Copies of this chain bind each other. A is one copy, B any other.
Amino acid sequence: MSDQQTKTAIVPTTHSGAAGPYSPGSRKGDILQTAGQLGLPPGAPHLRSADQYPNLATQVLQALDNVTAVLAEAGSGWADVIMVRAHLTDTAHFREFNTLYSEYLATEQGPLPSRTTVYVGLPAGCLVEIDALAVLG
């Protein structure tokens, strides 16, 4: 690490209209943390009604794509991710979520990240929220 590290906001062009007071990703030194990504297109409030995305698969893939975009904007990728926090709303979704997640990461080099999966409340209609911790360099 350099002696003078500066925190940098990571904002993919696709995330230009943040849904709240946070940065899509934040990097300082070698550490990059993404914000929690819902399964909706980022930065498009008029598209962000979960009613339009009722499908678990659609939401999971979109949330993962959102994370990927933040990682890429920082010059990183899943190979740098050591931890994924997956927030689902229903234990009945676990099996399908695992299948989708496995397939999404199947083309990545290197070991899978660690992961914690818990079941929580999310905004109306949202079925998944995912964030990732990466170590760069």
Do the beta carbons of A21 and B123 come within 8 Å of each other? no
Contacts of A33 in B (CB 8 A): 82-83, 114, 133
**Which interface residue of A31, A122, A131 has the most chain B CB atoms within 10 A?**
A31
Copies in the complex: 3
Q: A3-B137, A28-B80, A98-B21 are in contact. Are A36 and B115 (CB under 8 A)?
A: yes
Flag the segment in A40-48, A52-60, A104-112 that touches B.
A104-112
Q: A7-B135, A82-B28 are in contact. Are A91 and B22 (CB under 8 A)?
A: no
Q: Does A84 contact B (CB under 8 A)?
A: yes
How many residues of chain A have a CB within 8 Å of chain B?
A: 58
Do the beta carbons of B131 and A91 come within 8 Å of each other? no
Q: Bound state CA distance, A8 and B124, in angstroms? A: 37
A107-137 vs B, CB cutoff 8 Å, 1 = contact: the mask equals 0001111111111111110000101010101
